[in-house]
Structure 1
């Protein structure tokens, strides 16, 4: 499983941290948000170090659909109703500036990253009312939004579509690779502990005046308590050859929702999303393949991949000070499936706060905010999920017999008196792992589409051998036993 971006860009590699060092600023996490933050800080005169636990852009950034847009689903009418006009305008202005920020940076540095100016569309095949409401809100906030009744190249008619002009798409890894050339980066260096202005890693310590968490999901539980106000979701993408060109970038607001955009000779078809840890039945890629076959019978699948996104209760990212008790820590998280634009918002906001170019605080994005009206429903759902899955760990059902676990499937079995998770591959080999998430103890569930164990509470993921793939967990789960057929 490889994304189109990975297949068409050789990313640079970097040595691990050589030992204890000192710097002005430390950025933890070398995805798009971390790279942009480090780049801006370095450009504005702060000596900056970028740490990555694995490989640069090896997480969410390699799985994005790479839309750079201020059109974030049905967001603006909701923001105006729940957090007010002033805060909604802050959100709007920050994301409009983010699109221009990419445009200016690419032009100034001559970066060849397949940047294409495009219109962004939201569409519905059922009803125009929500799109008309969103258009009215967007216009009130200063966005030139238009409602139309067609999107060229879609394989079906739409009832209505909302168009934002002057948006863009690009190749995220080619862009990131260009910025990395000027940065001090250490790979294969995992931060295991934070002590105020010291980051302890498995390779040595980094002492920094300011520390930025750009790890997608904050891994320090206290202070901050992000685990109580952030969950994760997965979505899936196919890259198709020999499919027609689609006008602009399109996202459906109906259920199920599908997204479309071209990249060179490929059409990217996305959708089939779910909360992380809630795909035991599988079939997400097959859902997309059925739709691709129906809509584009002559197209051929070239690549397929998935991505993970952090979701906040009020639909606004957390960008700013990590906690009032840690004035030198900063966080960028909860990008709501709009990680490319939000990465630029986060980088500019945090870099301005650190260098004194902006007043203290991050306005609408402040992690210390509390938008009760916008957050209550989602907070209640997230809390319920966490309680439910912690209970599963305590009150497990009786284990299955190993013979009941078919090739390509998983189950909870009894192994030497202990209940463990087992995955049997197509060759019949079995891999037994512990299924208690090392983050906060939730019961892991198996995702057969990706052969991963996933946490429904907070979104940590592990491969079938127990290796950590996504945080907030910081350690592997135990591979108890591997048995060849």
Structure 2
């Protein structure tokens, strides 16, 4: 594998995707019918499909790209209810009952994973490990002590200790017992096989763009419309597409923000670790082990930041590589990858009806980097909605909830941030000339007086796009770590040719002719 940047792989590639043979599925090329349509072929969608098919429900799953290509294929794959420092915060804002339901729902997801691995005899590197938060800074100690107090009140099996078993000076560590790590795609491929055996259908390269509701169609049915003009008629729709492909009156783009985080897979000086680790310091570091080609490797993660904002993204990989060399004497880095995650205003996922007016269209989003447990939890909640059940989790994760503290504060903060970056982008023009853009490099340039994005591929061909995001008109920025154009306002991402990689944008960036300017 070609490397640069002091030993890092030249291009991002996920170990989970590279080590798995995924089946391919046809594109939807005619109108179809199903009881339930699931949009999104990641862990939420596939798990929900499996659970519904187990209930005898006819399910069709639509994936705009290939299954597992999104955040599911780019995770650190920790299955845990220890979602950083969350339980003291939940108790302070929402009360002890709310926090307890949050924990129990995520713990049920963990138990589902454990039981499913055993029942289906899935070979997926599943290992029970303690989840450990640690702090090296004095200000982190009190946070960990308060979180431990919350654990005690909620009855969470835990310990408060000191050091961690690698070369960092941890002052405190908080252990949540008996959590797990695994190879997510090996697990999900078995669920997918079960789903197909039960009559489930999968359509890849099929982008859902809208829903014709009962009131619009005049029938007691929904129609999920695709970009190619085909549709599937159904009774219920589950939006499991990371960012909701259909928002109705939910206005999710105003209620969430997107962040990116990074992982390097590295060979270091450890053969095993008893836990999965996450620092709570101002500089976050995630540490776990994984088996790569028969050898123990480290997955080192962190460096989170808002999408489209901050320093050049390759710097984040370099920072993780440096951490690995200092702490684990890392010698080889065969993989690097990144993921995008959505944060709600109160750090609790939205799972339920997309809006109060659409009670047969459901959404699951805003997992805040804890997608393994949150997605399996969401799949169970979505199944219960489809079956007409009522559970305590539905109120906790309701899409309609609004608590003035902290939601109102974060609403104003995030929308001020959007305004700031909207204005900033409009005032900034590219400093580079087209001829200065080197092979493998992207940059904002001026073309006939207009702000444009330029990428020159390894063959020397130039790819020019209008940098105005097609969602709300913000100006995208070049991501040199993934070779994408990223929007700093609402997290939309586009490849170097302008095609949509992640929403909320549904339309690609306009292409530009170097001689004529904007198309």
Do the aligned partners of 1:243 and 1:267 also contact (CA within 8 Å) in 2?
Answer: no
| Aligned residue among 166, 179, 182 for 1:167 | 179
Change (3 A) 1:361 1:155: closer
| Aligned residue among 203, 210, 217 for 2:236 | 210
Do the aligned partners of 2:243 and 2:365 also contact (CA within 8 Å) in 1?
Answer: yes
- The answer on 1:151 being equivalent to 2:164 is yes
Q: Distance in 1 between matches of 2:186 and 2:39?
A: 21
Change (3 A) 1:298 1:28: closer
Do the aligned partners of 2:268 and 2:329 also contact (CA within 8 Å) in 1?
Answer: no
CA shift, 1:373, in A, is 0.7
Q: Distance in 2 between matches of 1:92 and 1:347?
A: 16
Q: Distance in 2 between matches of 1:443 and 1:192?
A: 23
Helix, strand or coil at the partner of 1:321: strand
Q: Distance in 2 between matches of 1:396 and 1:220?
A: 32
Do the aligned partners of 2:102 and 2:393 also contact (CA within 8 Å) in 1?
Answer: no
Instruction: Find the counterpart in structure 1 of residue 132 from structure 2.
Output: 121
Do the aligned partners of 2:105 and 2:393 also contact (CA within 8 Å) in 1?
Answer: no
Instruction: Find the counterpart in structure 2 of residue 234 from structure 1.
Output: 260
For 1:29-48, what aligned pairs fall within 5 Å after superposition?
29-48=40-59
Q: Distance in 1 between matches of 2:107 and 2:329?
A: 38
CA shift, 1:136, in A, is 1.0
CA shift, 1:394, in A, is 4.6
Instruction: Find the counterpart in structure 2 of residue 386 from structure 1.
Output: 418
| Aligned residue among 273, 277, 285 for 1:246 | 273
Helix, strand or coil at the partner of 2:317: helix
Give the structure-2-normalised TM-score.
0.89
Q: Distance in 2 between matches of 1:67 and 1:40?
A: 21
Q: Distance in 2 between matches of 1:272 and 1:359?
A: 36
Q: How many residues align?
A: 482
Helix, strand or coil at the partner of 2:105: helix
CA shift, 1:411, in A, is 3.6
Change (3 A) 1:416 1:349: same
- The answer on 1:284 being equivalent to 2:316 is yes
CA shift, 1:299, in A, is 2.6
Q: Distance in 1 between matches of 2:417 and 2:13?
A: 31
Instruction: Find the counterpart in structure 1 of residue 497 from structure 2.
Output: 465
Do the aligned partners of 2:429 and 2:446 also contact (CA within 8 Å) in 1?
Answer: no
Instruction: Find the counterpart in structure 1 of residue 224 from structure 2.
Output: 199
Q: Distance in 2 between matches of 1:338 and 1:241?
A: 25
- The answer on 1:304 being equivalent to 2:329 is no
Change (3 A) 1:398 1:26: closer
Give the structure-1-normalised TM-score.
0.95
CA shift, 1:396, in A, is 4.7
Q: Unaligned regions of 5+ residues in structure 1, if any? A: none
CA shift, 1:421, in A, is 1.6
Q: Distance in 2 between matches of 1:187 and 1:203?
A: 15
Q: Distance in 1 between matches of 2:451 and 2:144?
A: 50
Do the aligned partners of 1:119 and 1:164 also contact (CA within 8 Å) in 2?
Answer: yes
- The answer on 1:346 being equivalent to 2:378 is yes
Q: Distance in 2 between matches of 1:109 and 1:148?
A: 36
CA shift, 1:410, in A, is 3.9
CA shift, 1:28, in A, is 0.3
Helix, strand or coil at the partner of 1:362: helix
Q: Distance in 2 between matches of 1:372 and 1:257?
A: 28
For 1:396-475, what aligned pairs fall within 5 Å after superposition?
396-397=428-429, 400-403=432-435, 405=437, 409-424=441-456, 429-475=461-507
Q: Distance in 1 between matches of 2:303 and 2:486?
A: 17
Helix, strand or coil at the partner of 2:384: helix
Change (3 A) 1:398 1:3: closer
Moved more, 90-99 or 272-281: 272-281
Instruction: Find the counterpart in structure 1 of residue 115 from structure 2.
Output: 104
Moved more, 426-435 or 19-28: 426-435
Q: Distance in 2 between matches of 1:412 and 1:291?
A: 31
- The answer on 1:267 being equivalent to 2:298 is yes
Q: Distance in 1 between matches of 2:244 and 2:336?
A: 28
Do the aligned partners of 2:64 and 2:207 also contact (CA within 8 Å) in 1?
Answer: yes
RMSD: 2.0
Q: Unaligned regions of 5+ residues in structure 2, if any? A: 1-11, 214-221
